[in-house]
Each structure stands twice: as C-alpha cells, then as structure tokens.
Structure 1
Amino acid sequence: MKAIVFAFVTILLFRIFFFEAFTIPSPSMERSLLTGDYIIVSKLSYGSRIPNTPLAFPFAQQVLPYTEHTNSYLDWIKIPYLRLFGSPDIEHNDVVVFNYPMEDEHPVQQRTFYIKRCEGLAGDTLEIKDGQVYINGNYNDDAEKLQFDYKIKTDVDSINNDSLRLLGITEGDHMQNKGEFWFTLNLENVETMKKFPHVTSVEPLIQKKGSYNDYMFPENEHFLWNVDFFGPIYIPRSGDSVKLTVDSLPLYERIIDIYEGNDLRVSNDSIFINEVYSISYTFKMNYYFMMGDNRHNSADSRFWGFVPEDHIVGKTVLVLMSIDKSDGGN
C-alpha cells in the first residue's frame, strides 16, 4: 500500500510541476497539430505554477468524474498566483497551453485548457492584415503552417472526394452557386488544387478591411475589426502604462476589472479605478495574444482578447502520437 501511495503522489507531483499529456480537442491548430493528437507539455519551460486551489480532486478538471455539476475543487483555500521560476519566458510562435480566460466562474487553474500559437508578447504591438500577423511592423507568421478558407470555382458541380482525402482536406462544402465550393487549405493544398481537372480558380475568402464583426474583441464599434484585419493593438506588459479614455477603455477594461482585481466604473465620461479618477493605468501582469494556425476556424484572442500570464500552463515540446483521421487513422 505504501508503494501505491508513493507512486500516486509522485505521478501527481510530476504532472503538476514538470510535464503533462494533453489531447488536441479541435481543428484550430491544423495542420500543425491535428484533432486527437497526443502532446507533451513542459511546465518547466515557463515556470511551474503553484496550485491556486490546493483542495482539489486529482486528475479532474472543474467537475468530479461521473457528475455534471459537482465541482472537483473546494475554494476554501486560495493561494495567490506564484511561479517557481518567475514570469513565463515565452517566445514568438511558441505553441502554448493555457487556461481559457473567460471562465470567471472557476478559479484560474480549473478553467478549460486551450492550445494556440503565441503570436504577440507583452509589450508588442500586433496587427493582422489579410489574415497575416505583423509584430511591431514586421511580418511574424510562418505561412506554410497556416490554413485559410478558400473559394474554389469549377466548370462542373463536383470535386473528387478521394483526391481531397489524400490531401488531408476535411473541412469544406458546396457554396450557394453551382460549381462553387469552399475548403480549408494550406499553401501546399492551394497549389495542388489549382492543378485539379475542372478547377478554374482558387481564391482566399478574406474579409474586407473596415468590415465590422460585433463578436470580435473588444466588441465595440470604435474598433472596426474582423478575423482578417485586426488592430493595431498594444499587448500590455507589466509596469507599462497606457492612457485611458472612454474610447480606448474597452481594450483594457477586463484586465483592470477582472484579471487585476480593481473596482472600475465610468461616470459622465470619467474613469474611476478604486474610486480614484484615472487618466492612465499601469499593468501588474504580462499579457499575450494567442491564435490558432487554422485562421478561419479558431476561437482565439481575436474573439476574447488577451491571455494573462497567470493563465499560462506550459509549452508544447513533443507530439507523442498523431492520428490523421483523414487518412483512415494512419
């Protein structure tokens, strides 16, 4: 019995502080990572977090096994955010696992795990143009890793499904007009599909600059942004200050109010933080901008904003097993 208890505690501590296995739940990172891939995430890479809810059922996230609504943790004891090795040392284009920041009903480390590519670091100014990311004015993407939705025109009303399967193309369908289809493609797919018999054009489905999607962060009509044209936006860095106006506040109000725990209110176009009239704010934490490689099929920072540093779990260091379902599981 002692050996079993020792082994259990060892595995638990290893999982909390060193490495943990995750499964990719969605296609948001395709084709870099496929749905169902098993990955190993290093928690040492960015510094291991001390659990903020130590009274929790092991190996369960949010709810107890075989229940729907019973929390797997008790919030009687809450430990402030602390890492064993300081602040995360994330680099551009790291593939990062983090806790989804919008689940305010749960403590940080009990929130759903997400995996995305870190496009913007604290202190960066990020802009998306034609679906491509620019950091501080410089192109930041690796175009060969990205996927976008494309419109395919043909002079017939069908496309060979076997050819699509061999290319690993799984997302797509007919469009409204005869002979028109949409598919999610990477650059290699695009060049191959242009050579298909009966295909007359392959064009990216890019939204126009200035068109406004009201579900895009920060959900405010002063920022006419969409999935393909977004920003420029400053990503907050600990110790940096920004000027605050009622127009710019939507970018940072969740940080001030929720993530950094201040009392924020606006009265007659005046901003009050902890009941003090404020025209600027100094950030306490670093923040990051996360995006999926499958640019038109990813819920990411374009929709819900910045990821605070206390939500960072670890860095993807190994694909343990990959099952490409488009190739019959091989």
Structure 2
Amino acid sequence: MMFALFMLVVLVISGGIWLLDILVLRKRRPAGKADPILVEYSKSFFPVILVVFLIRSFVVEPFKIPSGSMMPTLLAGDFILVNKFTYGLRVPILNHTFFEVNHPKRGDVFVFHFPPDPSIDYIKRVVGVPGDKISYKDKQLYINGQKLDVSFVDDYQYPAAGLNMVYAKRYQEQLGDVKHDILIDEEAITTDGETEVPPGHYFAMGDNRDNSKDSRFWGFVPEDNLVGKAFFIWWNFDNFSRIGSIGH
C-alpha cells in the first residue's frame, strides 16, 4: 500500500509539472530554448509511471513471499503475481470496489491488507466465506459441520529459525473445488476454536497450519482489505524449478 501511495504522489507531481509547462511555462520560454531539466524528467517519467501504476492497480501486481506460513504451496523467497481484477476493480489506495467481478472462493490463495495494520500485505488461503461456520479441532478443519477430506502424502522437513529442523507431515486437503497440500506438526500445540464468518468477511488460514498467524489469531479479512488472487510464481533466487508453477 505504501509503494502504491508513493507511486501516486510521484505520478501527480510529474504530471502536474508537465501540465504546468504545457499551459504556462512553455509560452514564456524563448523559442528554441531547451526544456528545464525538471520538466524534461517529468515528461520522460510520467508516461512510464502512469502505465506501471495502472497495471499494478488494475491488472497484476508482484509480491514476494516473506515467510513459511504458506508452505508447502508457497515458499519464503517466491516472487508471485497477483491478479488484481479477479475480485473486482478497486479505487487505488482507498481500495473501495467500483466494479464487481467475482468474490473469493474457498481454496483461493489471496493477498489482502492485514486487518490489524493495513499497511502490511498478507497472503493466506480462503477457508471460510460469509455465512460459513468454521471449526478447527485436533488439527482437523470442519466447514459447516463437515470434516474436510485429507489424505497423507509424505513426511516433510524444513529449516526454522536457528537452523533447527521442523519435522511435519504433508497431507492433501480437499477445500471446495481445490485440492492442495498442507503441513501438520503433530508436536505443536493446536489452536482450536469455532466461529461463524460474518457478511462481507473471509476466514483465512495458512497451509503451514501450525506455523501461521491467521484468522484463528487476529480475526476475519474484510472485503475492503482484498488485494487480489495469487496465480503464478515468476521467480525464486534459490530454486529456479519453482518458476512458472502455480500454487493451489
């Protein structure tokens, strides 16, 4: 959000200088005199910034995965692309929808402004949509009273802080129309609870179920906080094989 605000400020300033030159300054300059350097830079940067700003605001935006909360679907260091129009066109910065398209569905991996601090962007999976009753008991997810189907895949390990290894089990979970992998650490303390998703909100969880601060801790994601749907991994400096994959 802060970068978008920065781009908007630069866009307004550069565009304002260019417009001022067209309407006022250019008429006062002697014929044949070169444009002032500030005007020259504004004329050069404004079209580029405008195109980038429009693409990032309404089409697609890049994000970097900062943590392992979405493992094994997304790894720390993955650079992903987020579809900005899947959930409707929104006013830049204010984020209010002015043209509705679709709403998040169970199983979507989505980016949103962190409810306790909207200046931070989070990425999780949509588990509950408005009206759903969500229950998490003994590391098992229930939606509207129905236990989700899970099947064991294999043992999984990954490095944690301090070079310690975390040993978990990977399961495949059926969430709506989406089959995706989750990680369960059987030795971790389970955060159990039951809640109902209110209108205009979503319940989000990380795929790394025992290493994710999500809706179980800080509550629901409001509609106005939505950014877009993650759909493509375009880079990872440490693992080139992840480039081009699509997380589900």
State TM-score, norm by structure 2. 0.66
Change (3 A) 1:34 1:122: same
Q: Write the letter of the residue equivalent to 2:158.
A: I
Aligned to 2:103, the other structure's residue is in SS state coil
- What residue number does 1:204 align with? 186
- What residue number does 2:180 align with? none
2:186 is the counterpart of 1:186: no
Distance in 2 (CA, whole Å) between partners of 1:84 and 1:131 is 39
Q: Write the letter of the residue equivalent to 2:218.
A: W
Q: 2:124·2:204 contact (CA, 8 Å) conserved in 1?
A: yes
Aligned to 1:119, the other structure's residue is in SS state strand
Change (3 A) 1:134 1:324: farther
- What residue number does 1:247 align with? none
Distance in 1 (CA, whole Å) between partners of 2:135 and 2:101 is 25
- What residue number does 2:73 align with? 32
| Structure richer in helix, relative to its length | 2
| Structure richer in strand, relative to its length | 2
Q: Write the letter of the residue equivalent to 2:73.
A: S
Match of 1:312 among 185, 201, 226: 226
Mean alpha-carbon deviation: is it higher for 305-314 or for 81-90? Answer: 81-90
2:128 is the counterpart of 1:120: yes
2:115 is the counterpart of 1:101: yes
- The C-alpha deviation readout for 1:174-212, integer Å capped at 9, x for no partner, is 99xxxxx96234249xxxxxxxxxxxxxx82254xxxxx
2:112 is the counterpart of 1:90: no
Q: Write the letter of the residue equivalent to 1:204.
A: E
Q: Write the letter of the residue equivalent to 2:196.
A: Y
State TM-score, norm by structure 1. 0.50
Change (3 A) 1:174 1:86: closer
Distance in 2 (CA, whole Å) between partners of 1:99 and 1:321 is 23
Match of 1:132 among 130, 140, 144: 140
Change (3 A) 1:11 1:142: farther
Q: 2:168·2:186 contact (CA, 8 Å) conserved in 1?
A: no
- The C-alpha deviation readout for 1:218-274, integer Å capped at 9, x for no partner, is xxxxxxxx52x221x11012xxxxxxxxxxxxxxxxxxxxxxxxxxxxxxxxxxxxx
Distance in 2 (CA, whole Å) between partners of 1:234 and 1:85 is 27
Q: 1:121·1:288 contact (CA, 8 Å) conserved in 2?
A: yes
Q: What stretches of structure 2 of length at least 5 have no aligned partner?
A: 1-39, 173-184, 242-248
**Number of matched pairs:** 187
Q: Write the letter of the residue equivalent to 2:139.
A: G
Q: Write the letter of the residue equivalent to 2:75.
A: L
Superposed displacement of residue 144, structure 1 = 6.2
Distance in 2 (CA, whole Å) between partners of 1:320 and 1:138 is 36
Aligned to 1:11, the other structure's residue is in SS state helix
Distance in 2 (CA, whole Å) between partners of 1:11 and 1:144 is 44
Q: Write the letter of the residue equivalent to 2:82.
A: V
- What residue number does 2:212 align with? 298
Distance in 2 (CA, whole Å) between partners of 1:174 and 1:89 is 40
Q: 1:172·1:183 contact (CA, 8 Å) conserved in 2?
A: no
Q: Write the letter of the residue equivalent to 1:169.
A: Y
Aligned to 1:7, the other structure's residue is in SS state helix
Alpha carbon RMSD of aligned pairs, Å? 3.2
- The C-alpha deviation readout for 1:268-303, integer Å capped at 9, x for no partner, is xxxxxxxxxxxxxxxxxx100101011111110010
Superposed displacement of residue 16, structure 1 = 1.1
Match of 1:9 among 50, 53, 62: 50
Match of 1:170 among 141, 159, 162: 159
Match of 1:51 among 81, 86, 92: 92
Q: 1:40·1:316 contact (CA, 8 Å) conserved in 2?
A: yes
Q: 1:131·1:206 contact (CA, 8 Å) conserved in 2?
A: no
Q: 2:88·2:101 contact (CA, 8 Å) conserved in 1?
A: yes
- What residue number does 2:203 align with? 289
Distance in 2 (CA, whole Å) between partners of 1:129 and 1:50 is 39
Change (3 A) 1:122 1:11: same
